[in-house]
A and B are shown apart, each in its own frame.
Chain A
Amino acid sequence: MSDISVIRVRDLLMVTLPSDPDDATVSALQHQVLEAMQKREPKGVVLDISAVETLDSFFARTVAETAQMVRLMGGRTIIAGMRPAVAITATQIGLTLGKIETALDVDRALEMVARGDGNIGGQK
């Protein structure tokens, strides 16, 4: 039922979300990411949310939780491609994604990982 794609790119998991995922899909994201972390032992996860049009408290909570679990499993999570309207709305609502790193787009997220450095061109 899930429209999430999880693929391995180099030593990373690339997770792409559809534009309007329902709650079941968002919950499946957590499950799929953790399972792939265990099986494929990537260094981290790039979460491509460039298609996502609505980020509400449920979504934010699940993503923040997932990132925390990835961290416990020794990986890092970078959120890539948040749309401006989504960023404005999330900020206004007071949603934070915890301490997750962000990048303007997937390319920059991959660069961050390749260089092993922090936020470049990211919305902190």
Chain B
Amino acid sequence: MTAVSQGEIQIATESDILLARRAVREAATQVGFGATDVTRIVTAASELARNTFLYAGRGTMHWTRCELHGREGLELKFVDKGPGIPDISLALQEGYSTGKGLGMGLPGAKRLMDDMDIQSAPGHGTTITVKKWRKT
């Protein structure tokens, strides 16, 4: 059996958030993350997928198994062509929300993962990439 090393999920409806979570759970389990890390990664994916759906209406989640210095990991990339984030550092502040949320999603996802990169500009959409490495 060969392990699948990447995939993507279209996020266009609320229930796609669930599909994204399931795909990430499967991928993270395949990479060999422990139960707590799988939960961390799936929770981060849930927050980012929901943001894609809520603020951009639609987008795509790409997941890729990756390796760095012999350590296996998982990369999740959320791409949308929505309104973009005018002030990224503000959006990363706990409690900041332009919606009716708690403003916990973005900072929470950052804390749960090892790495987060946000590329966004008003009118140009948003690309958020997060990575987590397996403990050896």
Q: In the complex, which range does the number of interface residues on chain A fall in?
A: 20 to 34
Closest to B40 in A: A89
Find chain B residues with CB under 8 A from A22 CB: 14-15, 17-18
Is the Cβ of B104 less than 8 Å from the Cβ of A57? Answer: yes
Find chain B residues with CB under 8 A from A92 CB: 40, 108, 111-112
Residues facing B in A39-94 (CB within 8 A) are 53-58, 60-61, 83-86, 88-89, 92-94
Query: In the assembly, what is the distance between CA of A56 and CA of B109, in Å?
Result: 10
Find chain B residues with CB under 8 A from A111 CB: none
Find chain A residues with CB under 8 A from B109 CB: 93
Find chain B residues with CB under 8 A from A24 CB: 14-15
Would you call B42 an interface residue if the criterion is a C-beta within 8 Å of the partner chain's C-beta atoms? yes
Given contacts A57-B102, A57-B104, A85-B38, contact A93 B17 (CB under 8 A): no
Give A residues with C-beta under 8 Å from B: 20, 22-24, 53-58, 60-61, 83-86, 88-89, 92-95
Is the Cβ of B50 less than 8 Å from the Cβ of A56? Answer: yes
A89 partner, pick from B25, B101, B112, beta carbons under 8 A: B112
Question: When each residue 37-52 of chain B gets 1 if its CB lies under 8 Å from chain A and 0 otherwise, what string results?
Answer: 0111011001100100
Residues facing A in B5-38 (CB within 8 A) are 14-15, 17-18, 21-22, 25, 35-36, 38
Find chain B residues with CB under 8 A from A89 CB: 36, 39-40, 43, 112
CB-based closest 10 A-B pairs: A93-B108, A85-B39, A22-B18, A56-B46, A85-B36, A57-B104, A89-B39, A23-B14, A85-B35, A89-B43
Find chain B residues with CB under 8 A from A56 CB: 43, 46-47, 50, 105
Is the Cβ of B42 less than 8 Å from the Cβ of A88? Answer: no
Given contacts A53-B42, A84-B36, A85-B36, contact A61 B101 (CB under 8 A): yes
